[in-house]
Amino acid sequence: MKKITAIVREDRFAMVKNALLDIGYPGMTVTEVKGHGHQKGITEQWRGRTFKSDFTRKMQMEIVVMDKDVEKIMECIVKETKTGNIGDGKIFISPIENIIRIRTGEKGEKAI
């Protein structure tokens, strides 16, 4: 099993969520986050003044899937979020040793 953590643009989140639902993955944990990568924030203009924003707002999605589904999920996320511009986001893949569904006591892939 793997945990896919994707940090994506706020304006692309709904498209990713709907695309994942369409391919059969409705479950995820979502967190609103702020951060920056190599670009170290963005510069914006408002009413003729320039402002530097060190941290940009993003959505972080966490999805636990079986190993065989990782590639399909990653492709879906990239397809829905890629603009080709700085700040499109990142995807991290981590191994999951075990899962326990608290309500039923199910373990492993049955608990996904």
Residue of 56, 59, 94 whose CA lies nearest to 77: 59
Mean pLDDT in order along the chain per 10 residues (112 residues)? 96 96 93 82 71 82 96 97 90 97 95 90
Q: Set out the domains of the chain in order of their start, with CATH numbers.
A: 2-111 (3.30.70.120)
52: left (phi over 0), alpha (psi -120 to 50) or beta: beta
The whole-angstrom separation of Cα 82 and Cα 84 is 6
Let me know: does 81 contact 8? Beta carbons within 8 Å: yes
pTM of the model: 0.84
Let me know: does 106 contact 100? Beta carbons within 8 Å: yes
pLDDT for position 85: 84
pLDDT for position 42: 64
